[in-house]
A and B are shown apart, each in its own frame.
Chain A
């Protein structure tokens, strides 16, 4: 057994203390033959510190495309030649999307907008939309609307938004290679305000942007420092017309190593499968990740791309004897 896994067994599984950057890097560098042991340990850590439940979430794009920012992976930036056009979702369709999500047994519904930060029009849509969902659908509402002012943070709390997603996307040292229109520190500032407001912090990123394995470890350590309630883990799905459109997808084994390593860095967080898992891991890898530290999924479609049917994921959870977290357990 590699030394790092012995150390993690005592420290992370035994004491609930996550691995530091060097420890994460050692896991990311484990040879293939030790990957099953790393996943097994990450699974034990998840079961011990989080339990067997899986949190199920659906997401929807309230405002798609035309974003002024230049995140190089994103098909919704208006600065690239991506074919994604700007479009707004109306409130009845938003409520319908929440209802369809609730039908899957999901407890979370995240409303997302492709913006640098919300303007008055978007905040008005949010006010009306969140009120309509809360009146008609039994589901918790989360939001992801870019960088916020303190007033906007307060307003979202007042609306009843219980969790806010704002991804750091990648580690601090690599961020300027991926985004030039705003800084990592600006993102961190929004996260700080969200944390202080009492909303749950949801913060993750995307692997496969061209970062080194060392930078992946740096990212895990920076997330652990933030200590988010939830970490959504995306794998790059190269989008036509974006600067990263020709990058290769992450190797399945590297993705699994990252899942185990991120879990061992953050024993108590909700570690969620987000975009890109279908093309990176396929059905078999999806299962391995759920047995290797993942304890949450996005079901159904994503913002501009499609996922596999929610029923496939729910059946998999059933096969794995992992109960879907109930709404009562989240309140």
Chain B
């Protein structure tokens, strides 16, 4: 499965489809401030699956990146 995702903007985090986990630090997205994570994500790929918190296998390429969760498949950016 492949889907394209952008870094999650803070405003979207409260929505119904809000991811459960912060894809940078792996902590609960609804708990604590992740503004530093969101800022850092501009220059970093995600490391944790936002749906299940598993650490993803991430390959950075000269242009773009791909991240694979064993449970939820691949995302690219």
Contact = CB atoms under 8 A, between A and B. Distances in A.
Given A83-B47, A85-B55, A306-B44, A240 B61 contact: no
Given A279-B43, A305-B44, A307-B43, A87 B58 contact: yes
Interface string B38-77: 0000111101100000011111111111000000000000
B52 to A, nearest CB: 14
B44 A97 contact: no
Most chain A beta-carbon neighbours within 10 Å: one of B26, B55, B57, B59: B59
A60 B44 contact: no
A89 B26 CA distance: 24
B62 A300 contact: yes
Interface string B7-42: 000000000000000001110000000000000001
Interface residues on A, range: 20 to 34
B65 A85 contact: no
B63 A100 contact: yes
Interface in A299-328: 299-307, 310
Interface string A271-303: 000000011000000000000000000011111
B62 A59 contact: yes
Nearest to B47: A83
Nearest to A58: B62
Given A278-B43, A305-B43, A306-B43, A83 B48 contact: yes
B45 A85 contact: no
Nearest to A64: B59
B44 A101 contact: no
Given A83-B55, A306-B45, A307-B43, A301 B61 contact: yes
Of listed A58, A60, A83, A89, residue having the most chain B CB within 10 A: A83
Contacts of B25: 240
Contacts of B65: 301, 306
A86 to B, nearest CB: 8
A139 to B, nearest CB: 11
Contact of A61 (B56, B57, B60, B64): B60
B60 A85 contact: no
B27 to A, nearest CB: 11
Interface residues of B, number: 20
A84 B25 CA distance: 11
Contacts of B58: 64, 84-85, 87, 304
Contacts of A197: none
A89 B62 contact: no
Contacts of B45: 304-306
A301 B47 contact: no
A301 to B, nearest CB: 5
Contacts of B57: 85-87
Interface string A52-84: 000000111100100000000000000000011
A87 B47 CA distance: 13
B61 A60 contact: yes
Contact of B60 (A100, A278, A301): A301
Contacts of A212: none
A93 interface: yes
A313 to B, nearest CB: 12
Nearest to A102: B62
Nearest to A59: B62
Interface of A: 58-61, 64, 83-87, 89, 93, 96-97, 100-101, 240, 278-279, 299-307, 310
6 contacts: A61-B59, A83-B47, A83-B48, A85-B58, A86-B57, A299-B62
Interface of B: 24-26, 42-45, 47-48, 55-65
- In the A-B complex, the 7 residue pairs with the closest CB atoms: A83-B47, A300-B62, A58-B62, A87-B57, A306-B43, A100-B63, A101-B62
